Amino acid sequence: MSVVKQLLIAGVLVVLAIGGYLAYSFLRTPAEASGPLAAIPLSQSTAAAPTVAAAPTAAQAPAAPTVAAQPTAAPAPSQPAGMVTLQIAQGESEARFIIDEVLNNEPKTVVGTTNQVAGVIEINAQDPTKTRVGVIQVNARSLTTDSNFRNRTIKNQILQTDQYELVTFTPSEIVGLPASGAVGQPYSFQIVGDLTIRDVTKQVTFEVTAKAPSESRVEGTASTTVAYADFGITIPQVRQVASVADQVRLELQFVAVPA
């Protein structure tokens, strides 16, 4: 066999191998969600904080039991004062991403959505500053757009959902809530926290608008815009897509009710 034939055969094999890899990467069926999302309970450490603060008096041995009993009794009255624990209702909520691209020489806004979102919110309608928000989870395997090909590309190539099933947001600070409020009053505020996409975590700030139509229901939206490159994400080049915006908008439209 001549050298030219050997090179041609080798070239064909390489092309077939690359084509097979690309077909597998883009066209294979992504893994389904591993199961229903369960909300992560709010940490109880803050409820124990008064007890910890009183610990220095433990040096007075006889008084220590009395002082320890006081803080544990103190949170009890605060619970009836209006604290209500709610969970995001998946049937009434939606997480989504929004990104612009040029598809077939036409501008297009791509929207991916899922109702597979979970989280816990603790509110006090009379004192909004006591509001607490737990970890928000979104199952990336359940995201869908208007294109099955795009869905597979997002899950297999971009978000790698077989390996990284969840996108999470862990709040660290709530900014802008007033010290007094009332049922039905709308609020605009910010939630600062750590957003984890795949294996990269960055601090982001969500702009939130919300209101409580009743003491057992909260409705609202939260949004932020991020550069996906900050999370180590790249968009594969596809012939029909001339360009993709550098930033993506993340939104959560939520309703929270008692579990």
Q: Please give the single-letter amino acid code of residue 188.
A: S
Q: Where are the domains of the chain?
A: 44-80, 82-259
pLDDT at residue number 79:
44
* Euclidean distance between CA atoms 28 and 61, whole angstroms: 67
Which residue reads 């294979």 in tokens?
28
**Among residues 187, 210, 221, 218, which one has the least CA distance to residue 84?**
218
**Among residues 137, 154, 116, which one has the least CA distance to residue 236?**
154
Q: How many CA atoms lie within 13 A of 207 on its CB side?
A: 6
**Among residues 160, 157, 187, which one has the least CA distance to residue 175?**
187
How does pLDDT run along the chain (259 residues), one tens digit per residue? 666 555 555 554 444 344 444 444 456 899 999 999 999 999 743 332 222 233 334 444 444 443 434 444 444 444 435 789 999 999 999 999 999 999 999 999 999 999 999 999 999 988 999 999 999 999 999 999 999 999 999 999 999 999 999 999 999 999 999 999 999 999 999 999 999 999 999 999 999 999 999 989 999 999 999 999 999 999 998 888 999 999 999 999 999 999 8
pLDDT at residue number 5:
57
pLDDT at residue number 239:
87
- CATH number for region 82-259: 2.40.128.110
User: Residue 48: helix, strand or coil by DSSP?
Assistant: coil
Contact 236, 203 (CB under 8 A): no
pLDDT at residue number 199:
96
* Euclidean distance between CA atoms 115 and 121, whole angstroms: 17
